[in-house]
Amino acid sequence: MNAVSDLRIAILSAAHLHADSYAAALRDLDGVTLPALWDDDADRGQGKAAEYGTEFQPELDVALSACDAVIICSKNIRHRELTERAASAGKHVLCEKPLATTVDDARAMIEVCDTAGVLLGTAFPVRHSGPAFQMREAISSGVLGTVMMIRGANRGTNPGGWFVDPALSGGGAVTDHTVHVADLIRFVTGEEIISVYAEADTHFYPDLGVEDCGLLMMGLSGGGFASLDPSWSRPNKAFPSWGDVRMQLTGTGGVATFDYTAQHNSLYSNSRVRAAQLPWGDDGDQLMVADFAAAVRENRPPLASGEDGLRAVEVVAAAYESLRTGRSVTV
C-alpha cells in the first residue's frame, strides 16, 4: 500500500446510484484519491468518470492495480464476483448493500476476504448517523429498559432499471429495503433477529414482476419483536426524496424514535417539478466512506463488517422462505 497520506480507493461500477455520493465522499477526504472508475458499461463508465473527475478504466485488472481498496457499486448479482477479484488482488472491499443475493454468496465473500487478509465492509450508512449511536447508548445504558417492540420502515420510490429484474437484483422491495432496518435493529439493540414472518405482493406497479410492498414480523433474541415495512410505496413523480428509514422502539423504561432523513430543509420552487428535501445534518454516506478509509489505514474492521452484511442477507432469505411457505422461518 502507498503511504498513509495517499490512500487510493477505486469504484467498481456506477450501476448503483449510491456511487455518486461515495465518489463525492472520496473527493472530500484528505489524503484519499479516486484513481479510477471501472464499469462494464463503457458509456456509463465514461460519463460517470468525467462527473467524478477520475479516469474510466474498462479493464478490471488494470483498475485493481491502480488502487489499495475498492467500493463496489455494481448490480447486486455481481457483488460476489467483484469482491473475489478484488480480494485476489489484495484489495480491501466496501460493498454496496445487500452484501449478496444469497446467503451462500455472502459467506463466500467473507471467506475469500479472510483468506486474502483484506477487509470486507458492508455499505450500511444508517448505522453511522449520530442518532443511531444515541439510541444504541440509550439501550446499552439501560435508560430504555428491555426492548419489547420495534416498528420500522424503509419506504421509498421504485428505483426501476436492474433493481426490478430479480436475475440482477435478487428480488424486489424486500431485497432492496429490508437490510438497512435489519442492520439498524442489530446495531442499536445488540440483539439478533431470530425469526421472520413475511407478507409481500405487487400492488403499486402491477406489471413489475417483483414485489413492491410487504410487511415483515421479526422475533428478537431478547424476547421482543419488530415489524418492518420495506415497500416502494412513495410516488416516483411527486415524493421529494428517495424515501425514509424510520424506527420507533418501545422498551420497559421508555420509548425512542429514529428518523434518518429528519435533518433536512424543504424546498418549494417554481423552477422544480416537485418539492425537494435538502439534507443539512449527518451525511451517512460520507461518514461511512471515511470510516472505511480509516479502517484500511488502521488495519481494523469497518463499523459494518461483512459479517454484519451476512446477518442482513440471512433476514432477507428468511423473508422469502416465509413468503414461499406461508410460515414463520427461523434465521
Q: What pLDDT, in 10s, does the model give residues 123-156?
A: 999 999 999 999 999 999 999 999 999 999 999 9
210 and 229 both lie in a single domain: yes
Confidence of residue 239 (pLDDT cuts 50, 70, 90): confident
Q: Higher confidence at residue 93 or residue 268? A: 93
The bridge status of strand 246-251 relative to strand 193-201 is: unpaired
Distance (Å, whole) CA 262 – CA 279: 8
Output the pTM of the full model: 0.94
Decide if pLDDT at 221 tops 80: yes
Peptide bond into 98 cis (omega under 30): yes
Of 36-45, 255-264, 312-321, the poorest mean pLDDT is in: 255-264
Q: Higher confidence at residue 280 or residue 198? A: 198
269 and 142 both lie in a single domain: yes
- The alpha-helical segments, DSSP class H, found in the chain are 19-28, 42-52, 60-65, 79-88, 103-116, 130-140, 166-169, 173-189, 284-298, 306-325
Range of the domain at 231: 127-283+313-330
Residue 75 maps to a domain: yes
Contacts for 200 with CB less than 8 Å, ≥ 6 apart: 172, 173, 174, 211, 213, 214, 215, 319, 323
Mean pLDDT of the chain: 94
106 and 131 both lie in a single domain: no
The mean per-residue pLDDT over the stretch 27-53 comes to: 97
Total domain count for the chain?
A: 2
- Three-state secondary structure call for residue 156: strand
Nearest to 172 by CA among 133, 223, 213, 140: 213
Confidence of residue 5 (pLDDT cuts 50, 70, 90): low
- Three-state secondary structure call for residue 16: coil
Residue 193 maps to a domain: yes
What CATH number has the domain bearing residue 120?
Answer: 3.40.50.720
The mean per-residue pLDDT over the stretch 6-30 comes to: 96
